[in-house]
Structure 1
C-alpha cells in the first residue's frame, strides 16, 4: 500500500534519512553530494524543506519510507520544477516513482503552473524511462554543468493538463 505525506521542516529527520540514502546510492544524479549534507545541522535540513513554494513529498510503501521528491517554483509562474527525486532500490517497481510525480504535478498545477520541468543526468536511463512513462518528453539537450560538476543529459517537460498516471491507494 502506498501512502503519501507532504513534509515540512518538522519532518526534517525523516527527509534526512531518505535524502542521504539518495546521495550515497546515486551520487551521479544530484547536484548536491553526501559530503555536503551528512554533517548538516537540523536547521539546515529544516530550511531545505521550508524553502519558499517548496512541495516536499514522501511516499511510504507498506509504512516504510520509500521515496521522495520536491516541486519548486521557477522564475516563470507557468513552470514548476521537479527536483530531488529518489526511490529506494527495494521500493522500485511498486509505483512509488509514479506516485511521487503525480503528487508533485498536482501541487504544481494547483499553483497555476502549466508545465513541470526536470533535468536528467548523464547515464540515468532508468529515471529517463520513468519520466517518459509519466508523460515527460525531451525539450533539449542540457549541456550546462549542474552544481558540483553534475552533467545533465537533457531537460524534460510535462504539460500539467494531462491526467495523473497512478491511482490513489
Structure 2
C-alpha cells in the first residue's frame, strides 16, 4: 500500500534523502545534478527553501514504512490557471507498483483544487519509461521545446494535461 504524505520545510531531511537518492540513481532524468546538491549545496537552509516554494505542494510516497518516491506541484508564474509537476521520482525497488500513479494523481488533485485547468511537466527526451507513465495519465507532448539539455544537444520534452474534463 502507498501512503502519501505532504511535506513542509521541517521535513527537509526526508526530502533531502529522496532527492539525493533520485539524483544518484537517475542522473539522466533531472536538470539538476547530484554534485549541485552536495558539498556546499547541501545545506539545511537550501533544502528548507526548496520546500518553501510559494504555493507548492510537496508529496512523499511511503511504502512499507519507507520513503519510496516524491513529487511536487508548483504554480506557474503569470498563469494562475496552470500548475507544473516537478521533482518526480520513484525508487527502483517499487517501480511498477503504482507509486508513480499515486504521485501524479495527487499533484493533479492539488492542481484542480487550486483552480488550475492544465498541468505541465518536463521530461528528458530519452526517458521513455517516464514519458509512457505520463502519457497513461493523459499528458501529451506540447511541441514546445523545454529547457536546454545539460549537454546542449536538444531540449527537455514539455508535456501537459488538460484538467478540465475530470
TM-score, length basis structure 1: 0.90
Superposed counterparts of 1:87-166, under 5 Å: 87-142=90-145, 144-145=147-148, 151-163=154-166
| 1:150 CA displacement | 8.4
Instruction: Find out whether 1:17 has 2:17 as its counterpart.
Output: yes
**After TM superposition, what 4+ stretches of structure 1 lie above 6 angstroms from structure 2?**
none
Bigger mean CA offset, 153-162 vs 66-75: 153-162
1:135 CA displacement: 1.1
Q: Any unmatched runs of 5+ in structure 2?
A: none
Whole-Å separation in 1 of the counterparts to 2:7 and 2:65: 15
Equivalent position of 1:50 in the other structure: 52
Cα displacement (A) at 1:149? 5.2
Higher strand share: 2
User: Which 10-residue stretch deviates more, 148-157 or 63-72?
Assistant: 148-157
- Consecutive unaligned residues of structure 1, counting only runs of 5 or more, are 164-169
Partner-residue secondary structure (3-state), 2:4: strand
Q: CA deviation at 1:155?
A: 1.1
Cα pair 2:141 2:159 within 8 Å, conserved: yes
Write the distance in 2 (CA, Å) between the matches of 1:20 and 1:136. Answer: 27
Partner of 2:35: 35
1:45-77 deviation line (CA, Å, top 9, x unaligned): 011001111110001112111100011111211
Cα distance in 2 between the residues matched to 1:153 and 1:83: 13
Q: 1:122 Cα shift? A: 2.2
How many residues are paired up?
A: 163
Distance 2:65 2:152 in 1: 36
